[in-house]
Amino acid sequence: MNSKNNSNPNNPNNSSTNNSNINTSNKNNNINNNSPKRELLLCRGTACNSMGAINLHESLQNALVKHKLIEKVSIKLTGCHGFCQLGPTIIIQPDNVLYAHLKPSDIATIIENHIKNNKVVEDLLYKDPKTGSPIKDMNKIAFYEQQVPLITKNCGKINPEDIEEFISIGGYDSIKKVLTEYSPLEVIEEINASGLRGRGGAGFPTGQKWLLCHQTKGDKKYLICNGDEGDPGAFMDRTILESDPHSVIEGMLIAAYAIGANEGFAYIRAEYPLAIKRFELALTQAKKAGYLGNNILHSGFHFTITLKKGAGAFVCGEETALMASIMGKRGMPTPKPPYPATSGLWNKPTNINNVKTLATVPRIIENGADWYRSIGKKDAPGTTVLALSGKINNSGLVELPLGTTIRKLVFDIGGGIPNGKAFKGVQTGGPSGGCIPKQYLETPLDYDHLTKLGSIMGSGGIIVLDEDTCMVELARYFIEFCQNESCGKCVPCRVGTRRMLEILTHITQGKATLKDLDKLEKLAHIVKTSSLCGLGQTAPNPVLTTLKYFRDEYLQHIRDKRCPALVCNELITYYIDEDLCIGCGVCKTNCSVNAIGGIVKEPHSINTEACIRCGVCFESCPSNAILKKTNPPQGR
Amino acid sequence: MTQNIEYKLKEQDRRELKKILDQFNYDKNNLISILQTIQDVFGFLPRNSMFYLAKKLQVPAAEIYGVSTFYTQFKFDKLGKNHLIFCDGTACHLRNREILGLVETLLGIKPGETTSDMQFSYEIVACLGCCAISPVCMVNGEIYGNLTTNKVKKLIKKLRKQ
């Protein structure tokens, strides 16, 4: 991950990336450049920032000054380019070239070759994981090629901290159109006709939701943008809020106009400091430019937005809990009905939409409902933004038409599983979703198909699992998460998930019996059907789907005391392969319980009695001589 | 939540709290924002600050305590100089087992604890939303991605020296 070569272990032609022998001599690398003004788009999303994009910016500026290129080349600090795994990345436009895994020292090479001599620096390009050949045109990269950027249209293309850039590409045109040409009911009709469904997880038709709130009589109504993206494995909302906050604000304006709200709240989780910072800035700029406040664009429409920082509670993603949190209370859900549309914040009619839903709204107004319907599927039009991660070659943010198959996502866009491992399944919808095994690879990703398989679309986190993933341990992990996040109000969720966690822990420790398995299944159904809110009702999904599709793994844990994926600590032992051990002693030095013995330059050995199976030796061994084993399967 | 139970509010602290309450109009609907700001200023929520809030906002102290203990963000103890937050979201969880073990070994503390020399606080959270570069951690507000045991070891060593 640190060097370009690592991203492509199978490349037989791996050339060194030392600056001295960077390969730029190839004649085909020349770009036809009639010297238009070039733009260097530097990604400043959270991921790229953490990988060193901040230093890159400095190097870039210095290099441009040094080479007197300031006039000819501009640096644009953008939001997320989507392919976070390659970070930090720079896209050079109009050449459409993406450079990946950059270090400050690479900047000089890019300026010298690409900018001054129009030669693409091949070694810094992304390389196809299958063929190993570098890809010059970023639109030809499989990860980007199949995407339909609609919600994420502006992500990575504009500077999210500059409202002028947003306006220059047609930003806030939709709200202008709405305020001058549409009545609130006409807006709702348009959204209804588009078939847009809530992108937060449940998939409720957005137009209908708005209509309900519009029809409720009340002197005061509220609009809430739900940016409490708490499910592990999801980062779509963070990316959109970081990369294109004004689209969300515009969506909120349109929604507020439609339902008749004058006050809005954006609830963003505190774990996303950059998203909060940029959204706050966007609010200030929008207010200054007259898009927020009193008498917006001289239409007589007033709307203000207050930013509320979440304080770390997964359950606050649930509508009623979120509202309690905004009102300064413990984030505990209340029974529905009454629905927020009739009695929400301070008992006033309230409408809550997800970040992605709201970011879609301006696009629909701009291009019309028919256009939106032409994308995706008939019963689920439009696109969905997915956060692809886990055991996958290409991870990052992807936007696809609804109905794209899992196979296409994992193997075409995601580039398959790294290190030649076997694909085991995908986990969708976070702790509320389920695990879908490999036999369902052809399943289209949309609300109905995933529900049929026992999972949910959820907000869009997709975790790819390989053969090294223990499904029992994964189910235990999700139940532990739900148990921790259960607000404690209703018994099925509070007590039920705790009992489920106990049984699952016992299974992973090899201490459970077959009776426990029945008990687990029964409990899962009870929790699912009798919990108060969405958290409890969906918490058993990971357990139920793994029981359904990977029952054999549960049985192996219980009967054979065996973890086939070599994950569950109590069921594995570490040992040293004497042939591979070079006797360097690194493992011995690193072992915190002195469980490793041996003389330098001679094979070492592990005392399994003393070993606490922390795995540090396994990670640190330079010759991969430390291996794991579990009990053999017993004949049945 | 033990060591700071007796933290007595000084005159200056009270002024600070008053400023925060002014900023939020003494409105109990803003309680979470008020608590967040107090934590930003003090680094944690001193017990006495909650009693102070109760008086000024005219809400039972138990309610304020109830809200603050509900949310994982709020701390009741002073944190160490370096605040290490390790992500245990799904993507990180698939690869971080060895790393979490190592952190415990190196620091000698469990998640949620602070070293006795007040150098390190160690915490595990559900998801930092940087799954594409998993496993990740956040140190003093900054994200570190693609962690390996080696990287973590170096990181902690570096922080110790500072």
> Which of A81, A228, A231, A235 to mutate: most B Cβ within 10 Å?
A235
Looking at per-residue pLDDT, the higher value among B114 and A379 belongs to B114
Q: Residue A465 is inside which H or E element, if any?
A: strand A461-466
The whole-number pLDDT of residue A636 equals: 54
What phi-psi label fits residue A290: left (phi over 0), alpha (psi between -120 and 50 degrees) or beta? left
Q: Is B110 found in the same domain as B42?
A: no
Which chain B residues in 59-98 lie under 8 Å from chain A, judged by CB atoms?
A: 66-67, 70-74, 88-91, 93-94, 97-98
**Confidence (pTM):** 0.91
Inside any domain, residue B108: yes
pLDDT at residue B5 above 70? Answer: no
Query: Chain B residue with minimal CA distance to A331?
Result: B70
Inside any domain, residue A115: yes
CATH for B120 = 3.40.30.10
Residue whose token pair is 């004649």: A27
Domain end among B70, B94, B120? B70
Which chain B residues in 6-25 lie under 8 Å from chain A, judged by CB atoms?
A: none
Of A141-155, A280-294, A608-622, B132-146, the poorest mean pLDDT is in A608-622
Q: Is B45 found in the same domain as B92?
A: no
Residues of B in contact with A478 (CB under 8 A): 90
Q: Which domain holds residue A580?
A: 572-630
Inside any domain, residue A350: yes
CATH for A427 = 3.10.20.600
CATH for A93 = 3.40.30.10
Q: Is A475 found in the same domain as A455?
A: no
Rounded CA separation A328/B64 (Å): 9
Inside any domain, residue B60: yes
Q: Is A325 found in the same domain as A178?
A: yes
Task: Calculate the average pLDDT of chain A.
Answer: 91
- The beta-carbon neighbor of B133 closest among A85, A481, A614 is A85
Residues of A in contact with B148 (CB under 8 A): 619
- The beta-carbon neighbor of A328 closest among B30, B72, B145 is B30
Residue whose token pair is 């949190």: A325
The whole-number pLDDT of residue A36 equals: 65
Q: Is A171 found in the same domain as A282?
A: yes
Enter the tokens of residue A179. 């305020």
Q: Collect all residues with Cβ–Cβ distance below 8 Å to A519 and sequence separation of at least 6.
A: A503
Strand A301-310 with A222-227, pairing: unpaired
Q: Is A404 found in the same domain as A445?
A: yes
Rounded CA separation A226/A617 (Å): 44
The whole-number pLDDT of residue A592 equals: 80
Q: Is A172 found in the same domain as A128?
A: no
pLDDT at residue A635 above 80? Answer: no
pLDDT tens string A16-32 = 333 334 444 444 566 66
Which residues, listed in sequence order, are joined to residue A597 by a DSSP beta bridge? A605
SS3 state of residue A100: coil
The whole-number pLDDT of residue B138 equals: 94
Strand A434-437 with A293-296, pairing: unpaired
- The beta-carbon neighbor of A328 closest among B29, B73, B102 is B29
Residues of A in contact with B155 (CB under 8 A): none
Contact A78, A56 (CB under 8 A): no
pLDDT tens string A432-448 = 999 999 999 999 999 89
Q: Collect all residues with Cβ–Cβ distance below 8 Å to B147 and sequence separation of at least 6.
A: B96, B99, B135, B136, B137
Domain end among A104, A119, A145? A145
Q: Is A132 found in the same domain as A277?
A: no
Enter the tokens of residue A494. 């509070």
Inside any domain, residue B97: yes
CA distance A169 to chain B (A): 28
The whole-number pLDDT of residue A35 equals: 57
Mean pLDDT of A93-116: 93
Across B4-152, the runs of DSSP E, i.e. the strands, are 82-87, 113-114, 120-125, 137-139, 142-144
What band does B126 get if pLDDT is binned at 50, 70 and 90?
confident
Inside any domain, residue B9: yes
Q: Does B130 contact A at CB distance below 8 Å? A: yes
The total number of structural domains that make up chain B: 2
Across A13-53, the runs of DSSP E, i.e. the strands, are 38-43
Mean pLDDT of A227-237: 91
Q: Is B146 found in the same domain as B102?
A: yes
Rounded CA separation A265/B36 (Å): 17
Inside any domain, residue B94: yes
Q: Is A202 found in the same domain as A319?
A: yes
Q: Which domain holds residue B52?
A: 2-70
Cβ count near A468 (within 10 Å):
17
pLDDT tens string B148-161 = 988 999 999 999 99
pLDDT at residue A72 above 90? Answer: no
Mean pLDDT of B133-148: 92
pLDDT tens string A382-422 = 999 999 999 999 999 999 999 999 999 999 999 999 999 99
Q: Is A271 found in the same domain as A367?
A: yes
pLDDT at residue A607 above 90? Answer: yes
What band does A1 get if pLDDT is binned at 50, 70 and 90?
very low
Enter the tokens of residue B56. 């000024």
Strand A396-401 with A90-93, pairing: unpaired
Residue whose token pair is 């030796």: A617
Tell me which residue of A291, A203, A214 sits closest to A247, measured CA to CA. A291
Enter the tokens of residue A225. 């943008």
Inside any domain, residue B75: no
CATH for A479 = 1.20.1440.230
Inside any domain, residue B77: no
Query: Would you call B67 and A329 a contact, using CB atoms and an 8 Å cutoff?
Result: yes
Inside any domain, residue B76: no
Q: Residue A241 is inside which H or E element, if any?
A: helix A236-243
Which residues, listed in sequence order, are joined to residue A201 by a DSSP beta bridge? none
Query: Chain A residue with minimal CA distance to B126?
Result: A232
The total number of structural domains that make up chain A: 5
> Rounded to a whole number, what is the distance in angstroms from the first to the last CA of chain B?
27
Q: What are phi and psi of A388, to 5 degrees?
A: -95, 120
